Amino acid sequence: MGAAVNLLDLDSAGLTRFCEEIGEKPYRAKQLLRWIHQLGRSDFSEMSDLAKAFRQKLTELAVIRSPEVMSDHVAADGTRKWLLSTGEGNAVEMVFIPEVNRGTLCISSQVGCALACSFCSTGRQGFNRNLTVAEIIGQLWWANKTLREDDAIRFNQDNQNNETGRVISNVVFMGMGEPLANFEHVVTALDLMLDDRAYGLSRRRLTVSTSGLVPAMDRLRERCPVALAVSLHAPNDSLRDELVPINKKYPIHMLLAACERYLAAAPRDFITFEYVMLDGVNDRIEHARELVRLVQSIPCKLNLIPFNSFVGSGYRRSSPEAIRVFRDILMQAGLVTTVRKTRGDDIDAACGQLAGQVLDKTRRAQRSLTRMPG
C-alpha cells in the first residue's frame, strides 16, 4: 500500500475502506475508532481486543500521528496554548479555554490564511497550505489525551462532559485559517467529532467561524450543519471591504442572505455575528445604530470582541466606555449582545493573536513592500 496510512486522516467510512483493503472485516473500523479517538491510543500493541495478526498488519501499514508539539504555555487564567509543527518550518496554534461549566478547544484549519483581514495577525502572515484531516482532528486528539494525563490542568469531574468524561466539551474553528476554504478536510474532521464512536460531540457544541465564503456556507448547511459564527466586523460594505477583503466578492447582502438560508438547518436558532472593536474605526455610535438596522431582522447573537493588539497592527482596542456604549445601543434594540472576555492574552492566545509560523507562499509581505511609496 506504499507509505504508511495515518489513521487520523480517516473517518468511519474511510477506516471501513482501509480495513477491507487489507483483508479485514468492516467491524474492525468501529474498534479502531474507539481505540484511537475515545481512548487516545497510538500504539497498536495496546489495542487488546484486536487480533494479534491484525495488530501486526497495522504496525506494518499504518500510523497514528498528530502534529508534533513545539511549545506548550499556560496563562495566568488557565488558558493553554500549544504550538504545533506542520513541517517545513510551518506551525499552527491551538488554545484550550477552561470555564466553570465547559472546556473549549479553539483549533486551526490552515497554515496561515489567504483572506488577509487587516486586523488579524494570522492574515498578515500570508498563506502556506490547508491542514490535512489528521492535522485538524489531531489537535483534538492530542488535547484530549494531554488534558486527561497532565496534572498541570486540574479540572473538577463535575465540569467534564457527562457523555464522554472528557475535559473538552466544545470545539470552535476559530484558530488560524478560514475553515470553509478547507472545506472537505474540515467537514471530515467534523464528522469524526460528531461520531458517537469517536468524540460524540453535539452539533450545538461545534462552531465553525467564517469570514463569509457564501457558496461554502451553503455547502456546509447541506452537508454538515453545525453552529455558525460569522466574522462581520462592520455595518456597511465600504468599511467591511477594508477590514475583511472577501467582502468585495461576497458583499454584506449576499452574506446575510446566506445566513438566513443557513438557519433553516442550523442546530441553534441563531447565527453568531463576531464584531472586533477597533478604536475610531468601527466603534462609533453611528456604527452601532447602523448595525442594528442591518441585522435586526435576523435571529442572531452579537459577540463584541475587544481587539487584541499585535506588533504592526496599526489598530488600537476600543476603550471600555466605547464598548459599553456600543453594547448598550445593541441591547436596547433587543439584540442579544455579549462582550467577549479576553483570555490568555499574556501568552498571545487571545482572539486574533494566533500567529504560528507561516512560510508565506502568497508572498504577501513582499507584495506589500513593492506597493509602498518610495
> At CB < 8 A and 24+ separation, what contacts does 249-253 make?
250/212, 250/213, 250/214, 252/294
Set 106, 113, 117, 351: catalytic member: 351
Residue 123's nearest CA partner among 69, 175, 183, 184 is: 175
106 is catalytic: no
**Where do runs of H (alpha helix) occur along 101-212?**
121-125, 133-149, 183-194
State which amino acid sits at residue 189: A
DSSP 345: G
Pair 68, 85: CB distance under 8 Å = yes
Q: Would you call 274 a catalytic residue per the annotation?
A: no
Phi then psi dihedrals of residue 45, to 5 deg: -65, -20
Distance CA 133, CA 182 (A): 10
Catalytic residue, chosen from 19, 24, 93, 106, is: 93
Map 267-317 to HEC letters: CCCCEEEEEEEECCCCCCHHHHHHHHHHHCCCCEEEEEEECCCCCCCCCCE
Buried b (16+ CB within 10 A) or exposed e, 253-288: eebbebbeebbeebebebbbbbbbbbeebbbeeebb
- 119 beta partners: none
d(CA 209, CA 230): 6
Radius of gyration of the chain (CA): 21
For residue 303, give the nearest of 282, 270, 276, 331 by alpha carbon.
276
Q: In sequence order, what are the beta bridge partners of 302? A: 273, 337
The amino acid at residue 185 is: H
As a residue count, the chain comes to 374
User: Which residue numbers are catalytic?
Assistant: 93, 351
